[in-house]
Amino acid sequence: MCAIDVHCKSVNFFLINKSCDLNEADRHSHPKDYRPFVGCVYMEMSTPFKKSCAEIQQVWPKAKSGYYWIKIGSKEAQVYCDMKNYGGGWTLVVTISSTNNDHLESAKVNCLNLELCVPLPEKDITARKLQDIDIHDLLHSEGTFRVDVLGKNENYTIFHQIPSGPENFDSTCVQGRCPRIIISYSFPYQWETNDCTEIDVGYRIFAGCHRVFDGQDDRECGHLWFSSKYHGRRTLYGYCSNSHGIYQDKSGMMFVK
């Protein structure tokens, strides 16, 4: 049973009543709680930690949304996985508050604790973020960034990719220094770029104080290009200092895959 349960990390088998506990941790992550003791056989699973929610879904296609242990680089961490929406396999890496721009840092921001940095918000969204190098590690499946925009009147989702490689994602980029991107407003994806480039190149976002993602370019084709649903569903990872959160003071979440 433990071998087929993605959450199971160790087992306690009680000799007296022949009952069995399936544990979501082991003595390495919780040494005080999970260990051998008298009257019990303790076993740990040798299954290696997966590297993302997408990899968990590949091994366990019926895995449900929730918190999972994975390995990011050389460290073990707990993350929230969305296994239901847009094909599933999405790892939550950033929550964006409508009241500040704390997420515009390359370092980790306001992690909940040492093991779980970015939980799924239950009510008001607090700005929390994994460091950029950890986000890069989690993008090995598709290299897709999913931004869920939470507005007062409407919620919507926009997808982005960086054709030059997801490792070029930079939460601090601004004023023309951000990598080229492509955009999709739907799943399955329908990628868009401007009139004078190809999907494998992508477009440059507008300069000024635009940050990371946007649906308009910087006139490199000789005119200002807008993506198909730009005017109704705009998203910016960050904007000018007098604006907070996502464009026009919206809160949101970013998942990667």
Average pLDDT of the residues of the chain: 90
Q: What is the pLDDT of residue 41?
A: 86
What tens digit of pLDDT does each residue of 120-175 get?
998 889 999 999 999 999 999 999 999 999 877 789 999 999 999 999 999 999 87
Q: What is the pLDDT of residue 140?
A: 93
Q: Phi-psi category of 88—alpha, beta or left, where left has phi over 0 and alpha has psi -120 to 50?
A: left
Could you tell me which residues come within 8 angstroms of residue 239 by beta carbon, excluding any fewer than 6 positions away?
A: 209, 210, 211, 246, 247, 248
Enclosing H/E stretch for 55:
helix 53-59
Per-residue pLDDT for 29 more than 80?
A: no
What tens digit of pLDDT does each residue of 204-220 get?
998 888 899 999 999 99
Per-residue pLDDT for 240 more than 90?
A: no
Q: How confident is the model at residue 221 (pLDDT cuts 50, 70, 90)?
A: very high
Distance CA 85, CA 257 (A): 12
92 to 53, 89, 119, 159, 222: CA distances (angstroms): 9, 10, 8, 14, 37
What tens digit of pLDDT does each residue of 85-101 get?
999 999 999 999 999 99
Percent of the chain exceeding pLDDT 90 equals 61
Question: Which residues face 92 on adjacent strands?
Answer: 255
Residue whose structure tokens are 């990872």: 237
Q: What is the pLDDT of residue 255?
A: 98
Per-residue pLDDT for 47 more than 70?
A: no
What tens digit of pLDDT does each residue of 59-76 get?
889 889 999 889 998 888
Distance CA 181, CA 199 (A): 9
Could you tell me which residues come within 8 angstroms of residue 84 by beta carbon, excluding any fewer than 6 positions away?
A: 64, 65
Distance CA 106, CA 182 (A): 22
Q: Is the peptide bond before 121 cis (omega within 30 degrees of 0)?
A: no
